[in-house]
Amino acid sequence: MKIGSFDLQRDGVYIIAELSANHNGSLQTALDTIKAAKECGANAIKLQTYKADTLTLNCKNSDFMIDGGTLWDGKSLYELYKEAYTPWEWHEELFSYARKIGIDIFSTPFDKSAVDFLEQFNPSAYKIASFEITDYELVRYAASKGKTIIISTGIATFDEIEDVVKICKEVGNESIVLLKCTSAYPAPLEEANLATIVNMRETFGIGVGFSDHTLGITAPIVATTLGAQVIEKHFILDKSIGGPDCEFSLDKKEFSLMVEKVRETQKLIGEVDYSLNKKREEQRRFSRSLYVSKDIKKGERFTAENIKSVRPGYGLHPKYLNELLGKVATKDYKLGDRVEKDTL
């Protein structure tokens, strides 16, 4: 499976820097953040494409007010989205700039009009946000465009995950990546439940990854060891600029370290391999093998006193020791002679 030109089977973990609201209302900050994401080693920058009016109602009834201990308590949904959205008139310049400097770019559409708008830029993928996974018509419409579809599962039930995978396949889109996600901002470590990544891969047989809202970089590293092919993390140019997503975003130094550690983890995991390369074969000279530990005359028997398993490894494999003990020597041996195959 590919996201743009990136092959998830061949090229390793695909790392997404989530811009979200971290432009803080400045086009230049957005452009600078894209450049920084490229410098930090991200494979892609991801936008969010919506308007407050496409997400919610301009209403302050209790249903529309944020509470529950979030970072945004006291604001209405409309106020938050009005503050956080990425202006649609920026998109052309953002897409153009990202491609110019060689970093992939795509977005999360939050309704059909956003999909239609984004199509003109031919993004490599569409991302379905956790809270939009229940909008089956949006999923169907985005998947129908034939791009890789990346789906966060933060608030989804198992049945809903089954449903959206089926919907994508119904419109002929088999290029699907499910992201384990905990929809809390920031997310407590004990609620990450990263073991789900393994189960999602086994259950659905498609691409899997992790959309991370925990603090720090431990979770993406662990997710990589569990088979995550995609890592998404909120990225901010500088935490001093603040903003709605600042608290659970990584700055340049932190994101660079995360990328480094994820790449190191990839190398450590490697692949199942029991073969011996040239270097490992050479190292076998320091293993044990059978040597004469005491002079032996022709006609004497091999015993535990005159044959031992010692280093180096040029002699007969130690597994033959018991087979050899008790046999009669057919020639003289001196201390330090190798026991060879023809001794058996």
Residue-wise pLDDT tens digits, 268-291: 999 899 998 888 888 999 999 999
Q: Using CA atoms, how far apart are residues 118 and 46, in angstroms rounded to an integer?
A: 12
Confirm whether 2 is domain-assigned: no
Token pair for 77: 């949904």
Which of 119, 118, 73, 111 is closest to 244 using CA atoms? Answer: 73
Token pair for 24: 């803080």
Say if residue 235 is in the same domain as residue 123.
yes
CA torsion through residues 154, 156, 158, 161, sign = negative
Q: Using CA atoms, how far apart are residues 340 and 291, in angstroms rounded to an integer?
A: 9
Mean pLDDT along residues 64-88: 86
Share of the chain above pLDDT 90, in %: 86
Say if residue 222 is in the same domain as residue 304.
no
Q: Using CA atoms, how far apart are residues 151 and 136, in angstroms rounded to an integer?
A: 12
Say if residue 288 is in the same domain as residue 172.
no
Could you say which of 222, 245, 269 is where a domain stops?
A: 269
Mean pLDDT along residues 252-267: 97
Give residue 227's pLDDT band: very low, low, confident or very high (50, 70, 90). very high
pLDDT of 74 reads 82
Residue 181 backbone zone (phi > 0: left; psi -120 to 50: alpha; other: beta): beta
pLDDT of 245 reads 79
Q: Is the pLDDT of residue 144 over 90?
A: yes
Say if residue 130 is in the same domain as residue 39.
yes
pLDDT of 303 reads 97
Say if residue 336 is in the same domain as residue 204.
no
SS3 call for 104: strand
Identify the CATH number of the domain in which residue 259 sits: 3.20.20.70
pLDDT of 280 reads 85
Q: Is the pLDDT of residue 12 over 90?
A: yes
pLDDT of 84 reads 85
Give residue 310's pLDDT band: very low, low, confident or very high (50, 70, 90). very high
Domain count, the chain: 2
Could you identify the residue written with the tokens 């966060």?
Answer: 152
Q: Using CA atoms, how far apart are residues 230 and 178, in angstroms rounded to an integer?
A: 9
Mean pLDDT along residues 218-234: 98
Say if residue 174 is in the same domain as residue 104.
yes
Q: Is the pLDDT of residue 68 over 80?
A: no
pLDDT of 75 reads 87
Which residues span the domain enclosing 337?
Answer: 278-343
Say if residue 323 is in the same domain as residue 190.
no
Say if residue 247 is in the same domain as residue 122.
yes
pLDDT of 134 reads 96
CA torsion through residues 149, 106, 127, 109, sign = negative
Strand 2-3 vs strand 6-7: parallel, antiparallel, or unpaired?
Answer: antiparallel
pLDDT tens figures, 80-94:
888 889 999 999 999
Identify the CATH number of the domain in which residue 315 sits: 3.90.1210.10
Poorest-confidence range of 77-81, 147-151, 222-226, 299-303?
77-81
Q: Using CA atoms, how far apart are residues 95 and 92, in angstroms rounded to an integer?
A: 5
Confirm whether 74 is domain-assigned: no
Q: Using CA atoms, how far apart are residues 85 and 93, in angstroms rounded to an integer?
A: 16
Say if residue 44 is in the same domain as residue 180.
yes
Confirm whether 72 is domain-assigned: no
Say if residue 249 is in the same domain as residue 310.
no
pLDDT of 73 reads 83
Say if residue 235 is in the same domain as residue 333.
no
- Mean predicted lDDT score pLDDT of the chain: 95
Strand 104-109 vs strand 44-49: parallel, antiparallel, or unpaired?
Answer: parallel
Say if residue 180 is in the same domain as residue 324.
no
